Amino acid sequence: MDKINEFLQSDFVTTQLIPWAVSLVVALLIFFIGRWIAGKIVNISKRMMARGGMDSMLSNFLGNILYTLLIAVVIIAALDHLGIQTTSLLAVLGAAGLAVGLALKDSLANFSSGVMLIVFRPFREGDYVEAGGVAGTVENVGIFATTMLTPDNREIIVPNGQIYGGTITNVTARETRRLDLVVGISYSDDIRKARELVMEIINQEERILKDPAPVVNVAALGESSIDLNVRPWVNKGDYWNVRADLLETIKTRFDENGISIPFPQQDVYMHEVKSA
């Protein structure tokens, strides 16, 4: 017991251990309180951006960057209170960051592409896009990758660099879409009658828009059929249902009116060669 009291009253404890312990406690308080304050600041910033009408994808991205910067400031303040020379530490971290950056250049490319996607917004959450070699509905644009959901409910994560470095097709960016159908009829069928039937079907379909006006014309004189271009306009939400219903109705009405939809065929002529 006497040795413990003697140790507690020694110069090492009073001049070094206790001040260091106090500094450690204060540094921890700085870190945890600073982290809490940083979270509050980020939440307030996100609410302000949302009230200003900013896109949720962009506000979340900026919020994450702001939180990372604030946490870095808090950590530096905590280390500085412990007496650690943050200037030299920052220099070491800078050199290490350069080495890591060279090693992770692909990740940094994905990061910069993520920034460009967020800033220029070629698509938004909920858009159906074809990008990076895949197609799906955008669920989230992260810092390094974008998450898409396919129509058959598969989740695909695509690196942002792969998306921004290629062609992006935003299928649902506009409110309306044009249906591009090619319907073939036989050379023995009446073209005018076939066109009138298709136009009649289009006019009876309420989901097809009147403006722009639908178009039905001859596209090509093919090897086995006369091809008709059928091009009505619909709202983007009706695209697939109208397409399927239109194809079924055209086939049914053609059958009822004696108009055939030919399939590719070849005529083979046999010549008999008599032996001498």
* Amino acid found at 207: R
What is the reported pLDDT for 137?
A: 93
What is the reported pLDDT for 7?
A: 46
* Amino acid found at 276: A
Give the rounded distance of the alpha carbon of 158 from its chain centre.
Answer: 8
Are residues 264 and 224 in contact, defined by beta-carbon separation less than 8 angstroms? yes
3-state secondary structure of 77: helix
What is the reported pLDDT for 17?
A: 60
* Amino acid found at 217: N
Mean pLDDT by 10 residues, the chain (276 residues): 52 58 77 85 81 70 79 79 65 61 65 81 89 91 88 92 90 92 91 93 93 92 90 93 94 92 74 68
Task: Report DSSP letters for 14-62, one per residue.
Answer: IIIIHHHHHHHHHHHHHHHHHHHHHHHHHHHHHHHHHHTT--HHHHHHH
3-state secondary structure of 171: coil
For the chain, where are the alpha helices, taking DSSP H only? 2-8, 11-12, 18-51, 56-81, 86-103, 105-120, 160-164, 191-204, 239-256
All structural domains of the chain, each given as residue ranges with its CATH number in brackets, are 10-103 (1.10.287.1260), 122-170 (2.30.30.60), 176-256 (3.30.70.100)
Beta bridge partners of 99: none
Q: Which helix (H) or strand (E) holds 228?
A: strand 226-231
Nearest alpha carbon to residue 207 among 232, 171, 180, 174: 232
